[in-house]
Amino acid sequence: MIKLKTKEEIAILREGGKILAEILATLKAMAVPGANTAELEKKAIALIKKASGQPSFKGYAGSHNDKPYPSALCASINSEVVHAPSTPARYLKNGDIICLDIGMRYKKLYTDTAVTLAVGEVDAKTDKLIDITRQCLELGIQQAKPGNKLLDIARAVQINAEANGFGVVRELVGHGVGYAVHEAPAVPNFYDSREEELELELKPGLVIAIEPMLTLGDWHVRTGADGFTILTKDGSLAAHFEHTVAVTEEGNIVLTEK
């Protein structure tokens, strides 16, 4: 069931989202050649604790049968699309790309955000993958306004991604967020006429995580040996950006920007 948020709750989500954006900015600055993901994890936990928040990913399990997620930060490198734990430590090297994905519970409400960045120097094709994925997020956010439908977000992402020659991951989608880490509705990055939920009208109070996931090659993915990490099937590079966005009467508020 979709649960709309009140204006007061959206104000709290904006407060927490702004803090989370500052935390992510600090982690981005640390992601340089020679750094390791455990250092990023330690910093993320310390900053969330300082803000009187709680990591929303660490210990998270989608169901009773799932293994609890082991880290506060997802640190997905190169062909890893999403959900790579930041521990145990892995060292970053020049030419890598890394997606930093982080969520926080703040005053009982959840926000979620992610960014992909180059570690040192990358080639032009990889740089374009990152840039277009960021652009797809921006285009998706533009469509998050009253009267539009989920399909408007999906089409905006898919059209731009495929026009630039990139694959759009289909097995993973965005989601509602706020009262829990994951809520209804699902927010796909591609259009499928068989998905009736794409006809959902966006109403004020809806809070969603929009998160395009693009690949340099084929869009199919697989799950890694750890049971958490999602990788491209063909080993091609992947990029992922995410913001938590509230639909309002005036349009929208990007809750996880500084």
Residue 211 marked in a binding site = yes
Cα separation of 210 and 206, whole Å? 12
- The answer to whether 101 is annotated as binding is yes
Query: What span, in angstroms and rounded, lies between the C-alpha atoms of 247 and 207?
Result: 6
220 among annotated binding-site residues: no
197 labelled binding-site residue: no
For residue 123 the two structure tokens come to 């080639």
Q: How far apart are CA 213 and CA 23, in angstroms?
A: 22
Question: Is residue 29 classed exposed, middle or buried when 0-12, 13-18 and 19+ CB atoms within 10 A define those classes?
Answer: exposed
Of the candidates 243, 256, 237, which has an alpha carbon nearest to the alpha carbon of residue 128? 237
Q: How far apart are CA 82 and CA 79, in angstroms?
A: 9
226 marked ligand binding residue? no
Question: CB–CB of 221/172 below 8 Å?
Answer: yes
Quote the CA–CA distance of 215 and 80 in Å, as a whole number: 10
| Residue keyed to tokens 């981005």 | 28
| Binding residue numbers for substrate | 83, 182
| Binding residue numbers | 83, 101, 112, 175, 182, 211, 242
| Binding residue numbers for a divalent metal cation | 101, 112, 175, 211, 242
